[in-house]
A and B are shown apart, each in its own frame.
Chain A
Amino acid sequence: MTALVTIALVVFAAAFQQTAGALPFVGRVAELALAGGAAYLLDDAAAPLTTVAPQGQWRRRGPVLAAGVAVLAGAWLGVLMILQWRDARPPVAESSGELVVMALVAVAASSMLFRLGDPEPGVVVAPLVVVLGLGLVVVGSVVGSPIYLADAEPSLARGAGWSVAAALAVLTILVAGRDVAQRGVLPSLAPR
C-alpha cells in the first residue's frame, strides 16, 4: 500500500509539474516514505501467540521481510525511473544508500518497540521516520551543510556518519530482535 501510494504520488508530481523544480524534494519524500514503510515489516498483531511458537522469531519474520524488501526495492526502482523520465533522478548509489540506512533505522526502532511490548510498532515508527528525514533536510539547510549523501559531493565525514547510523541500527536490530522465547522459555524447560 505504502509503495503503491508513493509511486502514485511521484507519478502525479512528475506528470503535473510544469517544471521539475519540486521533483528532487518529492523524490526525497518518496525515499523516506519507503524507508518508513520498512517499519511495518515487524508488525505482528498476534505477537502474544506467535512469540511463544516453537519456530524461531527471525524464521517467522523471514518471508515477510524478504517480500517486504522486494516490494520496497521494486518501488524504489519505479521512483528512480519516473524521476529519470523528468531528468530529476538523484545519484543512484548515494540515494539508495540513504534509503537502506533509513530503512535499517526504521526496522531498528520497530524492533525496539516490539521488544517493549508494542505488537504493531510500524504505526508509530513509519511516520516518524518521514518526520525525522525531513527534519534532517531542515537541519541541513539551517546549518548550511547538507546531511544527505545525495545532496553534495561525497565526503568522508558524511559517509562515516551514515555508516555509523547504519551500524548502530544493525546492532539495535540484533540486540532488540533476540528471540524472547528462546532466551526466557527454553532454559527453564531444559533438562537438568
Chain B
Amino acid sequence: MSTALGHALLPSPSTPVGERATLLALARADARRFALHPLFVIACVVLLVSAVADQVQDNDGTNPLIPTMSTAFLIGVLGFVVAHRLTTALRRTRELAGTVPVDQQTRTLSLCLACLVPFTVGIAGAVYILVTNAISPPDGIPPSAPVTWFGDYPATDVLATLFLMGPLATLGGPLLGVAVARWAPFRGSALLGVVVLVVATAIPVSDAHGSAVRLASAWPVLTDEHVVNGRNLSSTFVPEIEPIWAMGWVLCLCGLAVVAALLRDPGHRRQLLVAGGALTVAAATCFVLALS
C-alpha cells in the first residue's frame, strides 16, 4: 500500500500540487486497492459465474429484476467488508500512513471515491440485465400476466427500480463500510455492521410484505413475486411506492453516508453539516413523495 501511495502522491519537487490533484491521485490508488482486493475479486467472479449459470439454466424469467439481488448481496455486502478493511488499514499502518502529507478527511474522501469501483460493477450488472432481457423478453405465465419490465410498466419505474436495487446497493454498502470504519474502528465492527445491515434490510422486506414499510429499508425491494405451487408465475411492483422517489431516497442515504464518514474529522465541519442537513431534508422529502 505504501508503495502505491508513494508513487501516486509524491510529485517531483518542482511541481506544485493542488488539493484536487492530490485527492484524485489518492482516489486512483484507493480505487486500485479496492479493485484488487481479494474479497472484491472473489465477489466479482461469483457474480460472473451466477450470471452465466442464470443464462444456462432454463428459468421462467417472470421476474427480470431478480438478478439485482445477487449483485446487491455480493458486491454490496462484500463491498461493505472491503471498504471497511481499506479504511481501517489506515489505522493499522498508522506509522506509514502518517508520513504521507494528506489529512485524514482527504483520505476518507478518496476512499468514498474508490467506492465508485463497486458502483461500476453494479452498473455493468444493470446493463447485463437490460441486454439479456432485451434479447429474451420476460413473460408471465400465462403471457397476459404482468412482469416488472418494459411494456407492462412505465419505463421510468423499471429503470428507477433497476438502478435502485442494483447499482445503488453496490454504492451504498461500501460507503456505509467507510462510515462505520471511521466511526467504529474496533475489531468487531465489520461483523456487527454486516449483521445489522442484513437484518435491517431484511426485516422491512419480509415482515411487511407488499406494504410501504419496505421503504424503511436502505435496500427497498420494490417488486413482488406471485408464486403458485412453487412456480413463479408473475411479478408486480409494490403499488404503494413510487420507484423514482424511492431511488431519490436511497441516493440521499448514500450522500448521508459520505457526510457521516467525513464528519469524523474536524475539517470543513460547517459545510458538511449544511450538506448533511440538506440531504436529510431531501431524503425526507423523497421518502414522503415515494409514499404519496
By beta carbon, the residue of chain A nearest B209 is A21
Given contacts A33-B195, A124-B85, A131-B77, contact A25 B202 (CB under 8 A): yes
User: From residue B170, how far is it (CB to closest CB) to chain A in Å?
Assistant: 15
A130–B195 touching, CB < 8 Å: yes
- Assess whether B24 is interfacial by the CB under 8 Å rule: no
- Assess whether B194 is interfacial by the CB under 8 Å rule: yes
Q: Which of A2, A26, A138 contacts B192 (CB 8 A)?
A: A2
A40–B195 touching, CB < 8 Å: no
Q: Which of B70, B192, B209 contacts A5 (CB 8 A)?
A: B192
A2–B188 touching, CB < 8 Å: yes
Kindly state the separation between the CA atoms of A120 and B192 in the bound complex, as whole angstroms. Answer: 17
Kindly state the separation between the CA atoms of A131 and B207 in the bound complex, as whole angstroms. Answer: 22
Contact with B along A1-34 (1 / 0, CB 8 A): 1100110010001000111011001100110110
- Assess whether A134 is interfacial by the CB under 8 Å rule: yes
Kindly state the separation between the CA atoms of A139 and B3 in the bound complex, as whole angstroms. Answer: 39
Number of residues from B at the complex interface, CB < 8 A: 29
B192–A18 touching, CB < 8 Å: no
- Assess whether B196 is interfacial by the CB under 8 Å rule: yes
B191–A37 touching, CB < 8 Å: yes
Q: Which of B39, B190, B199, B207 contacts A29 (CB 8 A)?
A: B199
Kindly state the separation between the CA atoms of A114 and B228 in the bound complex, as whole angstroms. Answer: 49
Given contacts A9-B196, A13-B203, A29-B198, contact A127 B190 (CB under 8 A): yes
Kindly state the separation between the CA atoms of A1 and B190 in the bound complex, as whole angstroms. Answer: 12
Kindly state the separation between the CA atoms of A130 and B202 in the bound complex, as whole angstroms. Answer: 14
- Assess whether A186 is interfacial by the CB under 8 Å rule: no
Q: Which of B78, B81, B193, B230 counts the most chain A CB atoms within 10 A? A: B81
Q: Which residues of B contact A29 (CB under 8 A)?
A: 195, 198-199, 202
A131–B78 touching, CB < 8 Å: yes
Q: Which of B69, B187, B193, B203 contacts A26 (CB 8 A)?
A: B203
Q: Which residues of B contact A19 (CB under 8 A)?
A: 207
Kindly state the separation between the CA atoms of A37 and B194 in the bound complex, as whole angstroms. Answer: 12
By beta carbon, the residue of chain B nearest A1 is B188
By beta carbon, the residue of chain A nearest B69 is A138
A9–B195 touching, CB < 8 Å: yes
A6–B195 touching, CB < 8 Å: yes
User: From residue B90, how far is it (CB to closest CB) to chain A in Å?
Assistant: 14
Q: B-side binding surface: helix, strand, loop or mixed?
A: helix
Q: Which of A17, A18, A123 counts the most chain B CB atoms within 10 A? A: A123
A22–B188 touching, CB < 8 Å: no
Given contacts A13-B199, A131-B77, contact A36 B207 (CB under 8 A): no
Kindly state the separation between the CA atoms of A6 and B39 in the bound complex, as whole angstroms. Answer: 24
By beta carbon, the residue of chain A nearest B50 is A142
By beta carbon, the residue of chain B nearest A39 is B191
Which A135-163 residues sit within 8 Å CB-CB of chain B?
135, 138, 144
B206–A21 touching, CB < 8 Å: yes
B203–A17 touching, CB < 8 Å: yes
Q: Which of A25, A33, A127 contacts B81 (CB 8 A)?
A: A127
By beta carbon, the residue of chain B nearest A36 is B191
B187–A43 touching, CB < 8 Å: yes
- Assess whether A75 is interfacial by the CB under 8 Å rule: no
Q: Which of B70, B84, B187, B191 contacts A130 (CB 8 A)?
A: B191
Kindly state the separation between the CA atoms of A120 and B209 in the bound complex, as whole angstroms. Answer: 41
Q: Which residues of A contact B85 (CB under 8 A)?
A: 123-124
Q: Which residues of A contact B81 (CB under 8 A)?
A: 127-128, 131
Q: Which residues of A contact B209 (CB under 8 A)?
A: 21
- Assess whether A126 is interfacial by the CB under 8 Å rule: yes
The 5 closest A-B pairs by CB, nearest first: A126-B191, A22-B206, A127-B194, A127-B190, A33-B195
A-side residues, CB < 8 A to B, are 1-2, 5-6, 9, 13, 17-19, 21-22, 25-26, 29-30, 32-33, 36-37, 40, 43, 120, 122-124, 126-128, 130-131, 134-135, 138, 144
A-B contact pairs, 25 of them (CB 8 A): A2-B188, A5-B192, A6-B195, A9-B195, A13-B199, A17-B207, A21-B207, A22-B202, A25-B206, A29-B195, A33-B195, A36-B191, A40-B188, A43-B187, A120-B187, A122-B187, A123-B85, A123-B88, A124-B85, A127-B81, A127-B193, A131-B77, A134-B198, A138-B69, A144-B230
